[in-house]
Structure 1
Amino acid sequence: MASSSSSSGNYEVFLNFRGEDTRRSFTCYLYDALNERKKIRTFIDDEGLGRGDEISDALLNAIQGSKISVVIFSKDYASSKWCLNELVKILECKNTNGQIVIPVFYGVSPSNVRHQEETFGNGFKELKKQFEEKAEMVLKWKNALTGTSHLAGLESTKFR
């Protein structure tokens, strides 16, 4: 998995997001503000994962090696198994390494994420159907969404 940030070493910030929703808008501006303007080493996946691909070791290492993860929840975030698998790893790092996790609720509310409701929930329901035979994984995803929704974060409806 390539990154537009430096390819080796640890990062200060890891950006977790649904590319189709926010890559060309909020996420690229956030990356630019952090990496280019503030010189904060920030990991952003600039290639995306293709259908059937697994999360690479490089991506998992980038998550594990980051001090902070910014999770950008958007309307179709929960329809992506890759976003959810990254989120599970991020929370694992929070619990074992003390990684700081900052949720950003972009066009969705913390309640939508917590209860998998409205448009956010529709994508998750479809993903659950695809992975019916992997109930343990679906439960991990649900718990990760619920747990992250309780963290102090930022809501786009409250941005200035």
Structure 2
Amino acid sequence: MTPDNSIRQPKHEVFLSFRCEDTRKSFTCYLYDALREKGIGTYADFKELQRGEEISEALSKAIKESMISAIIFSQNYATSSWCLEELSQIMELRHSRGQLVVPIFYHVNPSDVRKQAGSFEKAFLEHEKNGIEKVQRWRLALTEQAT
């Protein structure tokens, strides 16, 4: 029996989206190691990204090649336009392909993420000052994921 080539197997079981400065050397590193120890194929840019690779292309490809995206919301997550772009792409795949998305709230209140309050409000005010046009899309993605 020949395998059906139209059905692609994901390359990664889990893609980790996180703010490096907040969690990379602590929670995210431990989560990555724990998942890998259990035999779960996990992508985290600090472990998987090859030197010289174009970051945006590599991360976009990794998100698309994953079955699950785990988003680690932390105090400074929303200060990173990079993280917010990842989140937007993840939410698009959730809608178009049914990718499972798991929110993890690391030292933040889920309602602050949903309502963009506290550190999230401050970050969005900065993004708006800088005239970033994607702010509304980012807000919607945060609100949807934190409910």
TM superposition score category, shorter chain reference: 0.7 to 0.9
Superposition RMSD in Å: 1.7
Counterpart amino acid of residue 88 in structure 2: V
Question: Following the alignment from structure 1 to structure 2, what is the Cα–Cα distance between the partners of residues 124 and 16?
Answer: 19
Say whether residues 1:101 and 2:98 are aligned partners: no
Residue of structure 2 in register with 1:15 after alignment: 16
Q: Which runs of 5+ in 2 are unaligned?
A: 1-9, 48-53
> Which is higher, the Rg of structure 1 or of structure 2?
2
Q: Could you state the TM-score of these two structures normalised by the residue count of structure 2?
A: 0.85
Residue of structure 2 in register with 1:44 after alignment: 44
Say whether residues 1:143 and 2:127 are aligned partners: no
Q: Could you state the TM-score of these two structures normalised by the residue count of structure 1?
A: 0.78
Contact 2:18 2:73 in 1 (8 A): yes
Residue of structure 2 in register with 1:128 after alignment: 128
Question: What's the CA shift for 1:55?
Answer: 5.0
User: Percent identity among equivalent residues?
Assistant: 52
Aligned length: 133
Counterpart amino acid of residue 62 in structure 1: A
Contact 1:18 1:80 in 2 (8 A): yes
1:47-94 per-residue CA deviation (whole Å, 9 max, x = no partner) reads: 8xxxxxx85212101001100000000000000000000000000110
Question: Following the alignment from structure 1 to structure 2, what is the Cα–Cα distance between the partners of residues 138 and 99?
Answer: 23
Question: Following the alignment from structure 1 to structure 2, what is the Cα–Cα distance between the partners of residues 77 and 120?
Answer: 8
Residue of structure 2 in register with 1:27 after alignment: 28
